[in-house]
Structure 1
Amino acid sequence: MADTFRPGPEHRRVVFLTGAGLSARAGLPTFRGPDGLWAMHPSLERAMHAGALPASIPDLWRVWPSLYAQAARSGPTPGHRAIARMRGAVVTQNIDGLHQLAGSTDVAELHGDAGRAACLEDRCHWSAPLLPGEGERAEDHGVPAACPACGAPTRPDVVLFDEMLPADALERAQRLAREADLFVSVGTSGVVFPAAQLAPLARASGATTVLIDIAPEDPVGARARFDHVIVGDAHEVLPAWERVVNGVRSATFLDPFG
């Protein structure tokens, strides 16, 4: 039997964990698969390992700002807009800024922000917004190649493999999970740590946990980890939820556009 769970008035602190699957509707590639980032940019997979720094910085500049610009051109999806209209807090593994463009104001970015530059030196906290362009140099994206604070090279502010997640974002994500009464995972399998700890943490703190996935990779495991597993398109499920939460009786042609 299909799971038809929807939020109710008892759900006052809703938290969404989102991943690449939510942004795919905006034309942004996921990492793996024939149309994934690794297939389109083979050098990027190698460059995404922290051990490749600093030689990999040109590859990072070449790809991440352009993807951020593509996200801005495409704009938020119906799922992003529905989440914002439900006024839920967001913990995201995405680096594309689409939640903020949709109007979400409480967003913890676990994997960084491709719309910002950061210093390569861990002990330096310099960061600045980009003006995404085309090219493999920091100057191509409106920021200096050398950190103005310490002189180290600059890089896109995205988390690489073998790097620690931003401590403040992870702490905020854990706090949101503990405070949630409804925790919803969308566009991500939620099995990669440390994000994988968030749904169990929310559940242990008394929240109802929900997975929305059009094709769960492990349906049996998902049903063991979540109270409800909704097999469906998040861009249809979430707008339907939003209409229930906000008392809208029927869909309108404006739904995809906010």
Structure 2
Amino acid sequence: MTAGGRFTPGAAHREIVFLTGSGISARTGLGTFRGPDGLWALEPETEEAMHADLLPGSLPQLWRVWGGMARIARGHGPTPGHRAIARLGAPVITQNIDGLHQAAGSEVVAELHGSALRAVCLELRCTWSAPLSPGEGARAEDHGVPGACPLCGAPTRPDVVLFDEQLPQHALELAMRLAQRADLFVAVGTSGVVFPSAQLAPLAASHGATTVLIDIAPPVGSRTLFDHVIAEDAHEVLPDWERRLHRVGGTSFLDPFLA
């Protein structure tokens, strides 16, 4: 189905699944990670601290970076894109660690890279985990959690996946199941080229799904990877989709408050 030449979902699409990346949260001030204006390029010392083999020495930097990102996300709240996805009732596979999909009301969220709103024990065999209250500072205590695990005494850390670490198996398995059952698979604000996320759209396509990328600046070559590429602002496209699917005319009275 098209609207003015742009793909839009129709009544035939009953299993919409979203894959989201940092682009959907950029409006909050979090920014993106890759590219010349990304966090890794602008703050190379931050990228250096993201390597698992630098633990535990990199913990102060991890708390400062991820705690700060969680604080920005919580302070701003979900974007119109997050809220439209939640209103569609679609499950989400996300590369983001900001918790904004859950804050918008999405119920099924596979967090491939963990969550900056949760703390865990540095000792892999320990099961301690706790929600945190994001703040400013380089200590766990600055974010409302103890610096030493209450169960085993090891240091605590943000529950985000670092370079050289495995993705959480339960989240990856959920993502694979969602991709396989989708009849419409939509990537939003992500390059779609980083594995294992890069295999999800092809997996969905192999099970019969239509694949769509929504990105205001689609990566080079993305048009060969997706059935449809929409080079527009997801915060305009997704609320429009939601209104069309729910047969709501005009704009929602809430839209001015969701920016």
C-alpha separation in 1, matches of 2:224 and 2:115: 32
Structure 2 SS opposite 1:139: helix
The whole-number CA distance in structure 2 between the counterparts of 1:256 and 1:65 is 29
**Post-superposition shift, 1:142?**
1.3
In structure 1, distance between residues paired with 2:47 and 2:167: 18
Tell me the distance in 2 between the aligned counterparts of 1:136 and 1:85.
36
Count of matched residue pairs: 256
Q: Aligned AA for 2:249?
A: R
In structure 1, what is the Cα distance between the partners aligned to 2:235 and 2:142? 35
Equivalent residue number for residue 13 of structure 1: 15
Residue 246 of structure 2 corresponds to which residue in structure 1?
246
Aligned pair 1:62/2:57, yes or no?
Answer: no
8 A contact 1:3–1:229 mirrored in 2 = no
- Cα-Cα RMSD: 1.6
Normalising by structure 1, what TM-score? Answer: 0.94
Of 154, 160, 163, the match for 1:161: 163
- The residue number in structure 1 matching 2:180 is 178
Q: Which residue of 2 aligns with 1:223?
A: 223
Return the offset for 1:32.
3.5
Match of 1:118 among 99, 120, 131: 120
Cα distance between partner residues in 1 of 2:123 and 2:210: 41
Q: C-alpha deviations, 1:131-186, integer Å up to 9, x for none?
A: 11221111111111111222211100100011000000000000000011110000
Q: Alpha carbons of 1:205 and 1:33: their partners in 2 closer, same or farther (altered >3 Å)?
A: closer
Q: Confirm or deny that 1:88 pairs with 2:90.
A: yes
**CA distance, structure 2, for counterparts of residue 32 and residue 228 of structure 1:** 23
Deviation at 1:58, TM superposition (A): 0.6
* Secondary structure of the corresponding residue to residue 174 of structure 1: helix
* Secondary structure of the structure 2 residue equivalent to 1:128: strand
Give the residue type in structure 1 aligned to 2:76: S
Deviation at 1:10, TM superposition (A): 1.0
Does the 8 Å CA contact 1:78/1:256 hold for their aligned counterparts? no
- Among candidates 96, 102, 105, match of residue 103 of structure 1: 105
CA distance in 1, matches of 2:256, 2:8: 20
Q: Which runs of 5+ in 2 are unaligned?
A: none
- Deviations 1:53-97, CA, capped at 9 Å, x for gaps: 110001001111121111111111111111111111000000011
Task: Give the residue type in structure 2 aligned to 1:59.
Answer: Q
Gaps of 5+ in 1: none
Give the equivalent residue in structure 2 for 1:47. 49
